[in-house]
Amino acid sequence: MATVAPGVPTGPYHAVLDHIHPEPTSFIRKYIFSIDAKVIGMQYFITGAIFFVIAGLLAEIIRTQLLSPHGAILSAATYNSVYSMHGSAMVWFVVIPLLTGAFGNFVMPMQIGARDVAFPWLNLVAFWLFPVAGVILFSSFLVGAPDAGWTEYPPISLQGPLGTNLWCIAVFLIGISSTMTGINFMVTIYKMRAPGMTFTRMPLFVWGQFATTPLLFIATTALGAALAALFIERVFGVPFYDPKRGGSPVLWQHMFWFYSHPAVYIMIIPGFGIISEVLPTFARKPIFGYKMIAFSSVAISLLSFSVWAHHMFTSGMVPWLQLPFMIITMVIAIPTGVKIFSWMATLWGGSINWKTPALYATGFLITFTYGGLTGFFLAAVPADYHEHGTYFVVAHFHYVLYGGSIMSMFAGIYYWWPKMTGRMYNEKLGQLQFWLTFIGFNATFTPMHWLGLLGMPRRVATYDPQFQFWNQFASISSYVMALGTVLFFYILFDSLRNGKKAGPNPWGARTLEWMVSSPPPYYNFKKIPAVLAAPYDFGNPLPYLGLDAAPGATEATPTSASHPVPTY
């Protein structure tokens, strides 16, 4: 109606964005079976945190076992189950659901200026598959937990205990959940951005989620196929993987890694997005190389489909295939390096506000780069012959998974905690928690590089006494990490009880989720805003139109609760 400044978005009018779900009133519809993406995001957070604690305890059991070269507490068979479950739970039930389901659901719709995701009911189903699958996974302890590692290579997994079947079912279900989330998020980001939010104006966290979605709904299906085949081979004796009956164990490795290599990027690209939000906010500087960071996420996502066989250099694959896989793997370092340097350039000359999220983001830069470099060693075929199956691999993927994914999640949780709860956390304790985690983490996993290069194999319950010192050093350092995790949960509970009110935008960030109250109202925006520019130009006025409610003002419920959307 009113004439607005030139440069106003000319995108299509999204009537569907105005649709508001009727606010649920009953407790069950509001908190248990909610279709509100923010509530579902919080449900993912809570469920994922529970699994994180369980899987973390399993990790501490592993480290305690390795205090002694002869194995301190567990039998070899139990130890096999413990590390298999630790890996499976951390990958599928902590990192992937938290980075996609939790952060994606809570933050992404708000950041694109939408009220919800495209398919709220699908979202609800996707979430509820997650705790159900988790219970199935952990109930395998009752019947004999899987013991062939989180990769469950046949033929060992064919002979594994009954729990391996439950493992197949659980991972299959969580895979369906991932697929649903991937489709949902891709449609949401593609179709539901607020007017004027072109692709090059999307926050980088949204870019991260967007680049992750094809991995979720394309790669995960391959895992489902592999798991179903393993299941029917175990239950009905249908030969796929058993070499005695004409099958091939390497077939499993191909199908598994066709999923699981993209999956490691599912576990890191959203984390890249979080870092790209945190760093400019705390450096008070526009992000360096916005387009480069955005497009490199997509490049990583696409390249990740063509590198899976670098996990199989020692599995007896055709030699002439090794070179291309090695080269493509190394090519992935280019877009990743583009990101790392862009982030460093973002920090460069910024007036950095060293709050906990900024500490974590910077810590992430260090540990993730380190993990990326060891990945380079593993990608090189000759070096991999030496390092494959040793603790060097364990050190590498913990540097990228803990030092990358989990550190970015810590950064994200501290960053968005005020938005989720409306309360600040204790900054001093937060920083202490960072240092405990950072030092504990590095002290735990750095020695593993040396152990691996010296030849200590992974997945063994006992080891040669010459490795004892560094194993004990790692175990004791892991207790420091555990202390940090306990402190983390204390900080969150403390913040819920004693935290001071955060206000809508405690960090002075510029993306859309900070433009509404904390915690956000169920409809997110009283009015869908229009977007004029990318959100990172600190110093310029905010690039939004239509945010009539000033931040902090009480927002009224819209007059019309629900718009009748035709269903057919």
Residues that bind another protein (CB under 8 A): 1-4, 8-11, 13-16, 18-20, 118-119, 122, 179, 182-184, 186-187, 190-192, 195-196, 217-222, 224-226, 229, 232, 236-240, 245-248, 251, 254-255, 258, 527-528, 530, 545-546, 558-560, 563-566, 568
Distance CA 126, CA 184 (A): 10
Of the two residues 248 and 421, which places its CB atom closer to another protein in the complex? 248
Smallest Cα–Cα separation from 88: which of 262, 263, 229, 231? 263
Rounded to a whole number of angstroms, the minimum distance from the CB of residue 559 to another protein is 6
Rounded to a whole number of angstroms, the minimum distance from the CB of residue 280 to another protein is 26
The residues, any chain, with a CB within 8 Å of residue 491's CB and separated by 6 or more, are: 425, 426, 429, 430, 433
Q: Which amino acid is at 131?
A: P
Distance CA 215, CA 264 (A): 10
The residues, any chain, with a CB within 8 Å of residue 388's CB and separated by 6 or more, are: 313, 314, 378
Rounded to a whole number of angstroms, the minimum distance from the CB of residue 554 to another protein is 19
Of the two residues 117 and 407, which places its CB atom closer to another protein in the complex? 117
Rounded to a whole number of angstroms, the minimum distance from the CB of residue 530 to another protein is 4
Distances (CA, A) of 423 to 292, 430, 518: 34, 14, 8
Rounded to a whole number of angstroms, the minimum distance from the CB of residue 184 to another protein is 7
Rounded to a whole number of angstroms, the minimum distance from the CB of residue 28 to another protein is 26
Rounded to a whole number of angstroms, the minimum distance from the CB of residue 16 to another protein is 4
Rounded to a whole number of angstroms, the minimum distance from the CB of residue 284 to another protein is 28
Of the two residues 179 and 433, which places its CB atom closer to another protein in the complex? 179
136: phi then psi, degrees, rounded to nearest 5:
-60, -45
Distance CA 183, CA 113 (A): 19
| 501: helix, strand or coil | strand
Of the two residues 74 and 218, which places its CB atom closer to another protein in the complex? 218
Of the two residues 317 and 432, which places its CB atom closer to another protein in the complex? 317
Are 134 and 47 contacting, i.e. CB atoms less than 8 angstroms apart?
yes
Rounded to a whole number of angstroms, the minimum distance from the CB of residue 251 to another protein is 6
Of the two residues 7 and 382, which places its CB atom closer to another protein in the complex? 7
For the chain, the first-to-last Cα distance in angstroms comes to 32
| 544: helix, strand or coil | strand
The residues, any chain, with a CB within 8 Å of residue 66's CB and separated by 6 or more, are: 72, 463, 471, 474, 475
**Token digits for 348?**
């460069």
Of the two residues 137 and 192, which places its CB atom closer to another protein in the complex? 192
Of the two residues 248 and 446, which places its CB atom closer to another protein in the complex? 248
**Token digits for 554?**
């009480």
Of the two residues 24 and 558, which places its CB atom closer to another protein in the complex? 558
The residue to which tokens 């403390």 are assigned: 494
Alpha helices in 217-347 (DSSP H): 220-236, 249-266, 269-283, 290-303, 319-347
Rounded to a whole number of angstroms, the minimum distance from the CB of residue 64 to another protein is 39
Q: For residue 64, give the H/E element and its range.
A: helix 37-65
Smallest Cα–Cα separation from 189: which of 201, 178, 174? 201
Of the two residues 8 and 381, which places its CB atom closer to another protein in the complex? 8
